[in-house]
Structure 1
């Protein structure tokens, strides 16, 4: 069973990082929508925004994801925790899938290798923030600490 740290002291920093990732994605998406407006939805042209290649479909998806990440980062409960874990996994899977079709006509989001790398970095960042921003009661946090520092597990480490 996986035990996420509860009430981690650096939780506010992780939420800020997730919010900054969401803000970048939102700005990228809005700028991309303005730049690609009028183009076909899945155009494979050479539209670049903030160093990443895009099309209208990818820009619209980025606007939606950016809003979701900012909302998740602004919540004090565990909604942000679950949203960051999910978004991190989505970013990692999407970047790997898009990398596998990079030089084919199946590259419907118009990814470039720089877009793949940034998506992987954002996925890892969001996954990391999701791992450490879980909120719980003081009793729940103490229970998790006790499970991690159980005498049986410490005796095995010696």
Structure 2
């Protein structure tokens, strides 16, 4: 399955910006682990699952490591220019990977949904240097062709605002 990372815009803001690097992973938790490698210091990481073709996603049976994992749902009702924020729902990978529920419900709701582990921890902050910027790139859309990335050229600044591309 394919994903993009979701990176918190600043420590404990609860707002997430879409990263620009496509991730291919066997499960949601594997995608989160890959996205965490690029996490801004002090910020939490989630993922946005996507598929390039329309229609209902295929069922992805969760691996033993994925089975039972729970995720807070992050919604982006403001469209591609908006940020992702928690919407109060929790999905679990039981019987099928939670990413499939996101893909299906995105079509129903008409906006994108992402996932962040219910036990997500902020990325480590280097000692002696506070985090002042998330530093993650913002993707303009989730329609990237296989093997490429999609980016608006902007970046996410602390406080949840996207800096325009120069």
Bin of the TM-score, shorter chain as denominator length: under 0.3
TM-score, with length taken from structure 2: 0.25
Which of the two has greater helix per residue?
1
More strand by share: 2
Q: 1 or 2 for the larger relative contact order (CA 8 Å, sep ≥6)?
A: 1
